[in-house]
């Protein structure tokens, strides 16, 4: 195993920089300072390994260390969730609130910053990402989501920006794709405002274009810098189709959860008529695994017809959401 600046092989121990810093700063100059030519291309001979939130079984999710570790472990794509700070900066973070995976609740300076907002039809109370500036978000320390995971790296890393995430992929010594999600766009656009009437989706696409991400699936441009854009909000995917031809994936949640933006039911968005409509904008679907093989009494049952229906409409079934290995990497089918 080849060591990286952040990990000792076999022992997987974090190494501090020469200044002792591991947090609160960009890990790379932006854009990347490295000129790595003739990289090993993205493999196309088997299903993709997608590192969901990085190697989050070992390290706190969506941190630079988790993504660098995932690349070291061989991930084809690194996956992230994009939200926006109060001052309009795009950051990598899964939840709309900071409570579960940062130390925000322990920080005296942020007392009284909890709010209650409506999120997908329900009132949610917590410390919302959209209420903190990038500088404030950078001051927080990330921790593991689950107690059964290794806790020794809690507090060692900060939240990273979308640009820092991109830099990590571009600086790999082989072609590594990115798999960002447009996360909760309704909430973001309600609480964060940009100049000239731009929306969250505009800033998202601008960032991708800034760093050279373009091209239809398997095109020359795409193979050079592979990327998929995913979202539970179909109107966001339709909207950005006006500005980028990157392949897009409609995420599908459990049968009880409607779409984030249009409030359509699972049954509506998996109907033949809807799949026939959405295929003009997306290359595939990313379903919740229980909708593909429903469980009953902790046992798998007969598979549903969702994958067959998608294939019938020339849609591919991409990563089944939340199928994890120990490291947090998941496998995608792309055939």
Does the pTM exceed 0.75?
Answer: yes
pLDDT in the model for residue 34 = 56
pLDDT in the model for residue 326 = 32
Low-confidence ranges of the chain (pLDDT < 70): 1-37, 317-335
d(CA 229, CA 235): 13
C-beta atoms surrounding 301 within 10 Å = 11
| Among 94, 191, 313, 317, the one annotated catalytic | 94
Q: Cα 261 vs. chain centroid, distance in angstroms?
A: 18
pLDDT in the model for residue 316 = 84
Q: Is 94 a catalytic residue?
A: yes
Is the distance from CB of 166 to CB of 178 less than 8 angstroms? yes
| Among 52, 311, 313, 324, the one annotated catalytic | 52
pLDDT in the model for residue 25 = 39
Buried b (16+ CB within 10 A) or exposed e, 215-242: bebeeeebeebbbbbbbbbbbbbbbbbe
Return the residue matching tokens 């060692």.
Answer: 156
């Amino acid at each position: 195993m080849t060591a990286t600046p952040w990990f000792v092989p076999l022992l997987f121990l974090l190494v501090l920089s020469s200044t002792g810093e591991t947090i609160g700063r960009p890990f790379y100059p932006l854009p990347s300072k490295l000129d790595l030519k003739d990289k090993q291309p993205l493999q196309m001979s088997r299903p993709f390994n997608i590192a969901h939130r990085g190697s989050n079984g070992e390290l706190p999710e969506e941190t630079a260390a988790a993504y660098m570790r995932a690349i070291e472990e061989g991930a084809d794509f690194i996956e992230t969730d994009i939200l926006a700070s109060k001052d309009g900066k795009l950051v990598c973070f899964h939840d709309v609130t900071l409570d579960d995976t940062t130390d925000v609740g322990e920080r005296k300076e942020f007392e009284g910053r909890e709010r209650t907002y409506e999120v997908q039809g329900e009132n949610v109370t917590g410390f919302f990402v959209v209420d903190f500036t990038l500088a404030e978000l950078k001051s927080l320390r990330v921790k593991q989501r689950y107690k059964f995971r290794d806790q020794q790296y809690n507090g060692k890393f900060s939240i990273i920006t979308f640009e820092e995430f991109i830099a990590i992929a571009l600086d790999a010594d082989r072609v590594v794709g990115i798999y960002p999600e447009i996360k909760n766009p309704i909430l973001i656009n309600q609480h964060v405002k940009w100049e000239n009437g731009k929306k969250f989706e505009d800033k998202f696409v601008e960032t991708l274009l800034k760093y050279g991400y373009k091209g239809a699936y398997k095109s020359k441009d795409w193979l050079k810098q592979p990327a998929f854009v995913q979202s539970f909000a179909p109107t966001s995917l339709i909207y950005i189709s006006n500005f980028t031809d990157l392949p897009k994936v409609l995420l599908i949640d459990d049968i009880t959860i409607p779409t984030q933006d249009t409030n359509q039911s699972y049954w509506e968005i998996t109907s033949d008529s809807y799949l026939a409509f959405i295929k003009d904008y997306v290359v595939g679907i990313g379903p919740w695994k229980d909708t593909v093989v429903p469980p009953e009494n902790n046992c798998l049952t007969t598979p549903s017809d969702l994958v067959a229906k998608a294939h019938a409409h020339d849609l591919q079934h991409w990563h089944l959401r939340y199928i994890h290995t120990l490291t947090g990497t998941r496998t995608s089918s792309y055939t």
